[in-house]
Amino acid sequence: MCAGVGQSSLTQVVFLSPSRVRGRVRERVPREIMSTETSSPDDSEHRDATDSEPSSQHFPALTITAEGVAERSQQVGTHQLSCVETMPVQLSFSVLLSSQSQWTDLVDPTFRTHYPTVERGAFVDRLLEELDSSAVYERQSSGTAKAPQWELTIEGSATEWKRLMWEFIVREERDDEDRAYQAVTYLEQLLASGLANAGAALAALDFINDYDVDHSTDSFREYIGDIGSAED
């Protein structure tokens, strides 16, 4: 029997991907995926940073952060005596959304419900499956929509959120005032779902001001105020 099987201690692992590149990448260098485990800082792994879809140079610069707990299973021991070691680990991802298809994989583009459908569980599963590691990482829950024990946030500047709405989301056949109102509504829904950051609130205020949109600004100003208070 291997020592350490079923340990309950929590190990922290961090994954960063500020840019999408091709080729082999060492995890300690911030490229496609970087991972560092606090229990073994000198360990390194590799992954193939390949993608069937080329990055879109025109897609807004939005980054999604995902933090949560997963089960890590890894075979340990020697050829004569080996077993699978399983333990919970705290994971943190930072991934650049580089195409519209990545956005629609996470968020329902139709926005037909009161809140946009967010496939949190499916998105986290894809992150875990794409890790090139001798270990296997799995969420401690199932389901494509919800991801208990995971927090997801899309971060971007007001400019990038406005580009997302104007160039990729709202319908072009409407006049500018109607498109701006639709963009404000979408941003409000994303903020209410807990998925967007303060940049989305600032973008909504810009739309309201620039196109004289008949929409209350209270919720957006309150959101920005809450973020400012939390940072103080």
Q: Using one digit for the tens of pLDDT, what is the confidence trace for 21-31? A: 222 222 222 22
Neighbour count for residue 24 (Cβ, 10 Å): 12
User: pLDDT at position 14, please?
Assistant: 55
Cα–Cα distance for residue pair 145/128, rounded to 1 Å: 16
User: pLDDT at position 87, please?
Assistant: 92
Tell me if 95 is assigned to some domain: yes
Quote the number of domains for the chain: 2
Amino acid, res. 47: R
Q: Using one digit for the tens of pLDDT, what is the confidence trace for 170-220? A: 888 889 999 999 999 999 999 988 999 999 999 999 999 999 999 999 999
Residues of the chain with pLDDT under 70: 1-57, 110-116, 227-232
User: pLDDT at position 62, please?
Assistant: 96
Are 66 and 93 contacting, i.e. CB atoms less than 8 angstroms apart? yes
pTM of the predicted protein model:
0.73
Tell me if 42 is assigned to some domain: yes
User: pLDDT at position 133, please?
Assistant: 82
The parent domain of residue 49 ranges over 9-155
Dihedral-angle region of residue 143 (phi above 0 means left; psi in -120 to 50 means alpha; beta otherwise): left
Cα–Cα distance for residue pair 181/60, rounded to 1 Å: 20
Whether residue 82 is found in the same domain as residue 190: no
